[in-house]
């Protein structure tokens, strides 16, 4: 008899100093990843939710990987940074657009 692998519902991964809840088929926007396009593997998996149980890492889940495909790099929404000092006629306005990468999650392995 062949034992089927349980289907993974979702996982929490860490990349770029942030944590993301992902499921298979999701498209997420993360901090810029150096490579241009192609496959990518996230090894820092903090939590995995299966159909029947929840696996919490201490701090990472052993042998868990999230595989994805890089769709492309882009710039995020522009933010404005304003410095202001009252009573001295000083204002300084600057803008910033964060570099981001779009990733499609293909498979969550435990």
Residue 102 structural domain: 8-109
pLDDT of amino acid 92:
97
Q: Is 3 inside a domain boundary? A: no
Sequence-separated (6 or more) residues with CB below 8 Å from residue 48: 8, 10, 11, 12, 54, 55, 61, 64, 108, 110
Local confidence band at 1 (pLDDT 50, 70, 90 cut-offs): low
For residues 9 and 24, is the Cβ–Cβ distance under 8 A?
no
Q: What is the mean pLDDT of residues 29-39?
A: 89
Q: Is 85 inside a domain boundary? A: yes
Region for residue 51 given its phi and psi (left: phi exceeds 0; alpha: psi -120 to 50; beta: otherwise): alpha
Checking DSSP bridges between strand 8-15 and strand 65-85, what pairing results, if any? Answer: unpaired
Q: Is 65 inside a domain boundary? A: yes
Least confident window among 13-17, 20-24, 33-37, 101-105: 33-37
How many independent structural domains does the chain possess?
Answer: 1
pLDDT of amino acid 90:
97
Q: Is 1 inside a domain boundary? A: no
Q: Is 2 inside a domain boundary? A: no
Local confidence band at 6 (pLDDT 50, 70, 90 cut-offs): low
């Amino acid at each position: 008899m062949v034992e089927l692998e349980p289907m993974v519902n979702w996982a929490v991964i860490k990349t770029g100093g942030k944590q993301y809840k992902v499921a298979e088929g999701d498209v997420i926007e993360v901090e810029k990843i150096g490579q241009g396009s192609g496959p990518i593997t996230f090894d820092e998996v903090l939590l995995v939710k299966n159909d029947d149980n929840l696996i919490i890492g201490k701090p990472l889940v052993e042998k868990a990987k999230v595989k994805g495909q890089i769709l492309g790099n882009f710039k995020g929404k522009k933010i404005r940074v304003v410095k202001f000092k009252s009573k001295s006629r000083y204002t300084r306005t600057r803008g910033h657009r964060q570099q981001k990468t779009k990733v499609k999650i293909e498979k969550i392995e435990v």
